[in-house]
Structure 1
């Protein structure tokens, strides 16, 4: 199988195989997807595997950032992994993912993230479950009672792409968030052009929502703010639809402040969609991540990563003053031992006792690693 990047004019060549993999794609839906993914085609980030001139597999690497304790880390968003139904079982998916992992490194992304349709393939190449996208159902009437003062809010469009990206970035940074991703300005321009979504922009906050369930409900796809006043003002906009909508389905952090603003909170329907993380370049990923102030850690690690040999070896991890570094070190018998799964899970904040009991971390004294990597990772985007 020959794997290569697709040119923008080849975008429609993958429609059939993706329809067979994910379900029919009506013309308007396909047009919208191509419009949003246009910048990734232009950047040579949409790929296909060919045999005898026919496409037998596809995949994409979106250019993104991901916040970890409030710091943005360069990230490859892996998506649209497909293998033609009649070609499955031949190992083409593994060959494609192996190739894309190397391309993640070539693009300079120390991290890669994906939403798995199946866990086995991705785990075999070093990805591990790290966080989830959370959707919670909230009574529209409950949101209507959220007390809010008037804050300047305006409607936003494609011309506001740069400002939207900056406002969202500042909100995640100030909130010390872990897991949510950021898009490039061209991607935001395409997203903001979608008329099915209503978007509002404040100096320090952003809201995107649409009608759902035959206009009996509202779906909030993103609501972030750096201040309490703006957060309340944006949720009040959503709650003002309670005269028509009975429920609001919101994609939020599991610790989103709105859950503590409601007068009544007795029963919640929560849907989780798991995502997986891969550490592509361990020293770069450690250096780019944020860490809690006041936490110091010094631990010797031994990492065994067959798919990314540059991650393997003996390392000294030092974390201090919110900064981290991973440097080559002499091996010691009491080193903490990790494979790529344990490394990804640790990076994402999975507690060290959990990693030990699951066999993903062994040996040594983990010291202050639990406090240094503590996180509740979440995502606001599916891709």
Structure 2
């Protein structure tokens, strides 16, 4: 794009689109779209609406008779997600659904474009979601941001905990404030974990509506649901020390007479999975998606490897958010990034589409892996610089929405 050519920051829905918060009398229509899109029962819809607030629901309307009707819906809210040891403001998106009789008419894309526009105006620099379909969201500039791994093992696999195991004590699962403090070190050490809202804490510790049984010490915690069908589900866990991890393993091993398998969600380097014995299985691996809304702000919000002093120049193409397009020069020092958009470059920049940048930004895919796959283009020395800048822990997120 020529430097002097002015374009709107974001490609907007058509003028005929009527987008905005759902009115109270539209919630039944939204519940119908959610049921047709995801099989969501009305009771479950009402629970989610109460947890997250009906003000999080957005609809796209079209004329009908003397009024309008919702033809697409979604929910979104703002929160922080941690990358490189720093919180990054993000938009979380859920429940994107279109009337099945009108699919293929562009309503889903119009819905998403309006959501992204609203979030960017509100200060979010990324948009994240758990996809029902990949091609649709890839076409909107989303890229794979990280994973959620579903693990399982027999209780006997935890029978040999590390020495110095702590004695965990029962605690109140309805008081998340002390748990959020315990979890904060995990946020800083890893990549991709969200700073949970009250609604996300409720879903983590009361996934079926009833509180899980919570056990903790001064370092971490584990929450389990009542055994069902010879299986024990770990609702949530934060095990940052060997003592807490050992206490959790003792707790799980104690269920060996009641259950055949223990199941839990975690990252690729989950501590329970690292220490489990015979019978450990990776039952599933799901990817969640990220869409950069403001490239420059995102790069300056996230953290970078301690002790690294490096710089890189790259060019990004974004067919939806035009202000993201251009050449960038990133300088990293003291774990922070300083970014500038430039017109002239001394050395050839690396080049990538916005979805590729999303995976590079989170650390889900390394610069060299993207380069070998033909998604990142440039000279090897520039690729190596990006490799050093965006290295870090594999991003993961157990929360689904």
Regarding TM over 0.5, the answer is yes
Indicate if the aligned counterparts of 1:181 and 1:380 stay in contact, CA closer than 8 A: no
Matching residue of 1:368: 385
Offset of 1:259 from its aligned partner? 2.5
- 1:190 to 1:346, Cα distance in 2 relative to 1, 3 A: closer
Indicate if the aligned counterparts of 2:239 and 2:245 stay in contact, CA closer than 8 A: yes
Alignment partner of 1:34: what SS? helix
How many residues end up aligned between the 2 structures?
373
Matches within 5 A, 1:159-238: 160-173=175-188, 176-185=189-198, 187-188=200-201, 192=205, 194-195=209-210, 197-211=212-226, 214-238=228-252
Matches within 5 A, 1:232-381: 232-262=246-276, 264-265=277-278, 268-332=281-345, 334-349=348-363, 350-364=365-379, 365-375=382-392, 376-381=394-399
Q: Deviations over 1:34-73 (max 9, x none)?
A: 33222xx3xx321011122222101111222212133221
Alignment partner of 1:204: what SS? coil
Indicate if the aligned counterparts of 1:299 and 1:367 stay in contact, CA closer than 8 A: no
Offset of 1:8 from its aligned partner? 6.2
Q: Deviations over 1:342-375 (max 9, x none)?
A: 2101112212222123332112422321122124
Matching residue of 2:7: none
Offset of 1:192 from its aligned partner? 4.5
- 1:167 to 1:301, Cα distance in 2 relative to 1, 3 A: same
Partner Cα distance (1:35, 1:47) in 2 = 15
- 1:243 to 1:63, Cα distance in 2 relative to 1, 3 A: farther
Matching residue of 2:60: 49
Structure 2 residues without counterparts, runs of 5 or longer: 1-16
Offset of 1:255 from its aligned partner? 0.6
Alignment partner of 1:366: what SS? helix
- 1:239 to 1:65, Cα distance in 2 relative to 1, 3 A: farther
Does residue 130 in structure 1 map to residue 152 in structure 2? no
Indicate if the aligned counterparts of 1:209 and 1:221 stay in contact, CA closer than 8 A: yes
Radius of gyration: which is bigger?
2
Offset of 1:285 from its aligned partner? 1.1
Partner Cα distance (1:284, 1:203) in 2 = 36
Structure 1 residues without counterparts, runs of 5 or longer: none
Offset of 1:317 from its aligned partner? 0.7
Partner Cα distance (1:342, 1:296) in 2 = 24
Offset of 1:116 from its aligned partner? 1.5
- 1:11 to 1:170, Cα distance in 2 relative to 1, 3 A: farther
Partner Cα distance (1:172, 1:236) in 2 = 25
Indicate if the aligned counterparts of 1:136 and 1:251 stay in contact, CA closer than 8 A: yes
Partner Cα distance (2:73, 2:91) in 1 = 16
Tell me the TM-score normalized by structure 2: 0.86
Alignment partner of 1:243: what SS? coil
Q: Deviations over 1:262-310 (max 9, x none)?
A: 3x24652330111111111112211121222122221112222221122
Indicate if the aligned counterparts of 2:149 and 2:286 stay in contact, CA closer than 8 A: yes
- 1:192 to 1:272, Cα distance in 2 relative to 1, 3 A: closer
Alignment partner of 1:367: what SS? helix
Q: Deviations over 1:137-196 (max 9, x none)?
A: 1111112432453345332233x23222222223322xx211122222355357656315
Alignment partner of 2:190: what SS? coil
- 1:203 to 1:13, Cα distance in 2 relative to 1, 3 A: farther
* RMSD (Å), alpha carbons: 2.2
Tell me the TM-score normalized by structure 1: 0.90
- 1:267 to 1:215, Cα distance in 2 relative to 1, 3 A: closer
Indicate if the aligned counterparts of 1:162 and 1:185 stay in contact, CA closer than 8 A: no
Alignment partner of 2:225: what SS? strand
Partner Cα distance (1:345, 1:190) in 2 = 27
Q: Deviations over 1:79-112 (max 9, x none)?
A: 1000011010101111111111111212211111
Indicate if the aligned counterparts of 2:170 and 2:213 stay in contact, CA closer than 8 A: no
